[in-house]
Amino acid sequence: MASDDGDIHLRWMQAAMDMAEEALEAKEVPVGCVFVRGDKIIARARNRTNQLRNATRHAELEAIDEILANKELTPVVTQYPLSDTTLYVTVEPCIMCASALRQMGIKEVYYGCDNDRFGGCGSVLGVHSVLPHPKHEGYDAHGGYLRDEAIMILRRFYITENTNAPVPKSKANRVLKTEIPSRSSPRPQS
């Protein structure tokens, strides 16, 4: 039944949100994800760009590295190692990750909030399926799962002092906004 499907998506997204909370505690931009195969989480990861001083260390790529390096999860090298794997990530994958996921043949993607600045699943570029590619087929991406929670955890991060910034700016007077505008596009059907 459709509503049961929706519950399952929210359950996996909650697991991704737990990873985003872990990122927040580590003072990273709070984005988390899980990869699900056969009704089981096979990898969970979160953003580690500050810790590793590497701007490519987004949650999705961290998890993909883990899956490919694990011989039980990836026994043989194939062109599309994620063709039976679904991604749940708290924020729409960026252009870089959206492209990597396509090259890995990801089955499907569910995400929380839109990524208005870098989104590669439609917000900035439709890397997931709209842009033609001579070789890699596109994949479906569905947004809006735990969207408000995904937005709020990002706000909680950005309102605190960013000690990694070259010139720390005082944000002491900033107030955490709790009002969330609704999406321009319709919410996903569950």
Q: State the residues that interact with Zn ion by CB under 5 A.
A: 58, 94, 97
* CA gyration radius, the chain: 17
Decide whether 7 or 65 has the Cβ nearer to Zn ion: 65
Minimum distance from residue 127 beta carbon to Zn ion (Å): 11
| Spatial distance between the Cα atoms of 71 and 151, rounded to a whole number of angstroms | 36
Q: How far is the CB of 91 from Zn ion (least distance, A)?
A: 8
Read off the tokens for 112: 């929380």
CB of 56 to Zn ion, least distance (A): 8
58 sits in the region (left: phi over 0; alpha: psi -120 to 50; else beta) called: beta
Whichever of 89 and 161 has its CB closer to Zn ion, that residue is 89
Which residue is catalytic, options 21, 22, 25, 60? 60
SS3 97: helix
Pairwise CA distance, residues 111 & 92, whole Å: 5
* CB-nearest residue to Zn ion: 97
Beta carbon nearer to Zn ion, 24 or 94: 94
60 carries an active-site annotation: yes
Catalytic machinery residues: 60
